Chain A
Amino acid sequence: MGPQNNPYQSQKAVIQKIIPETSGIKTFVVQPESGFSFHCGQFAELSVPGIGEAPFAMSSPCFKSEQLEFTIQNVGYMTSRLHAMKEGDIVGIRGPYGNGFPLDDFYGKEVLLLIGGVGFPPARTLIYSLLNEKNKFKRIILCYGARTPEDVVYKYQVEDFRKKIELYMTVDKADKNWRESEGVVTVLLDKVKVDLKNSAAVVIGPPIMMKFGTFKLLEVGYQPKDIYLSMERKMYCGIGQCRHCMIDHYFICKDGPVFTYEQLKNFPNIWE
Chain B
Amino acid sequence: MEKYMILAPQKENGGLFMQPVIQDNVAHIVYDEARAAQPLKTFLLPPLDEVVGKKVQAEKPWLFLGIKACGLAALPILDQAFGGDFTDPIYQKRREESFIVSSDCTQPWETCFCTLVGGQPYPVKGFDLNLSKVWDGFVIEVGSLRGKTLLEGHDEVLKEVVREEATALEKMRNETTKKVEEQNRDFKFEKRHREVVSGNWESEVWERHSETCVECGACNHACPTCHCYFLDDVTRKTFVKLRGWDSCMYSGYAVTAGGGTPRPRLYERFRNRYFCKFKYLDDNYGMYGCTGCGRCIEGCQGKIDMRQALKDLVKN
Contacts and interface: CB of A to CB of B under 8 A. Distances in A.
Given A6-B51, A268-B201, A272-B260, A243 B239 contact: no
B261 A10 contact: no
B56 A1 contact: yes
Contacts of A53: 231, 233, 241
Given A244-B246, A248-B280, A239 B86 contact: yes
Interface stretch (A101-109, A129-137, A229-237): A229-237
Contacts of A272: 260-262, 264
A88 interface: no
Given A244-B246, A272-B260, A236 B231 contact: yes
Contact of A75 (B86, B233, B253, B257): B257
A233 B256 contact: yes
Interface in B258-307: 258, 260-264, 268, 275-276, 279-280, 283-284
A240 B85 contact: yes
A236 B279 CA distance: 22
Given A9-B239, A49-B237, 6 more contacts: A8-B241, A92-B239, A233-B254, A241-B81, A242-B229, A249-B284
Contact of B87 (A7, A92, A206, A248): A7
Contact of A249 (B86, B234, B256, B283): B283
Contacts of B260: 207, 272
A254 interface: yes
B233 A7 contact: no
Interface stretch (A76-84, A147-155, A184-192): A76-84
B232 interface: yes
Interface in A91-106: 92
B257 A8 contact: no
Given A9-B239, A234-B255, A244-B246, A47 B262 contact: no
Most chain A CB inside 10 Å of its own CB: which residue of B201, B257, B275 = B257
Contacts of B118: none
A247 B254 CA distance: 11
Given A8-B52, A241-B88, A241-B227, A47 B258 contact: no
A43 B248 CA distance: 24
A143 interface: no
The 6 closest A-B pairs by CB, nearest first: A76-B257, A249-B283, A50-B236, A239-B86, A7-B86, A249-B280
Contact of A8 (B81, B243, B255): B243
Which range holds the interface residue count of chain A?
35 or more
B234 to A, nearest CB: 7
7 contacts: A50-B237, A234-B254, A237-B229, A241-B227, A242-B228, A242-B229, A242-B230
Given A7-B87, A244-B253, A249-B280, A269 B262 contact: yes
B228 A244 contact: yes
B258 A75 contact: yes
Given A50-B235, A234-B256, A272-B262, A243 B85 contact: no
A157 interface: no
Interface string A40-77: 00000001111111100000000000000000000111
B137 interface: no
A242 B255 contact: no
Given A47-B239, A234-B255, A242-B228, A9 B52 contact: yes
Nearest to A232: B256
A246 interface: yes
A246 to B, nearest CB: 7
Contacts of B264: 272
A9 B238 CA distance: 10
Given A50-B236, A92-B239, A249-B284, A242 B257 contact: no
B257 A7 contact: no
A100 B42 CA distance: 35
B280 A246 contact: yes
Nearest to A47: B233
Interface in A1-28: 1, 5-10, 12
B262 to A, nearest CB: 4
B43 interface: no
B258 A76 contact: yes
B107 to A, nearest CB: 34
A100 to B, nearest CB: 15
Nearest to A255: B284
B292 to A, nearest CB: 21
B77 to A, nearest CB: 11
Interface in B175-231: 201, 227-231
B153 interface: no
